[in-house]
Amino acid sequence: MLFHAALHRIASMLPLFTVLSIFTVGCDYFFPPLTGDRIEVEEAERFISRNKDNPDIILLDIRPKPQFDSVRIENSINLDFAQTDFPEMITRLDPEKRYILIDDNGRKSAMAFELMKEQRFPKVHYISGGITEWVRSGYKTVK
């Protein structure tokens, strides 16, 4: 008897689960998540454009300040990877936010990515080709 009551309760909740699953799948269709740790500039540009007002997504430019000041992606934050205290500086970042790393060509971003993963940042990605590929692709930058 108790088993049948529990089964009936679960069955009555199926329409709700169906609606929630359709909504969840639909969100991924309209706003697909990032596909991996290393992302191409096209995917990065789409994601950044769609999430430009999201305070939980941080575009972290790890190039030296003079390079950052000469050309950068709008709303990016500069944190120089070449600084000796870079490992300490990333410990001050919020590990719950999603970080997208960019450098000149993607190599240092890959190293910074590994460092952040070691520091237990679960949502970190880096842009393949860096700002060089971003500019070459004709995406918007600011000075």
Strand order in the sheet with 77-78: 38-39, 124-127, 98-102, 57-61, 77-78
Encode pLDDT of 24-83 as tens digits.
Answer: 444 444 445 565 688 999 999 999 999 989 999 999 999 999 999 999 999 999 999 999
pTM of the model: 0.74
* Average pLDDT, rounded, for the chain: 83
How far apart CA 41 and CA 32 sit, in angstroms, is 15
The CA R_g of the chain, rounded to the nearest whole Å, is 20
Taken in order of first residue, the domains within the chain and their CATH numbers are 1-30 (no CATH), 34-136 (3.40.250.10)
How do residues 104-139 score in pLDDT, each as one tens digit? 998 899 999 999 999 999 999 999 999 999 999 999
- Residue 22 pLDDT greater than 50, yes or no: no
The C-alpha torsion from 93 through 81 and 131 to 31, rounded to 10°, is -20
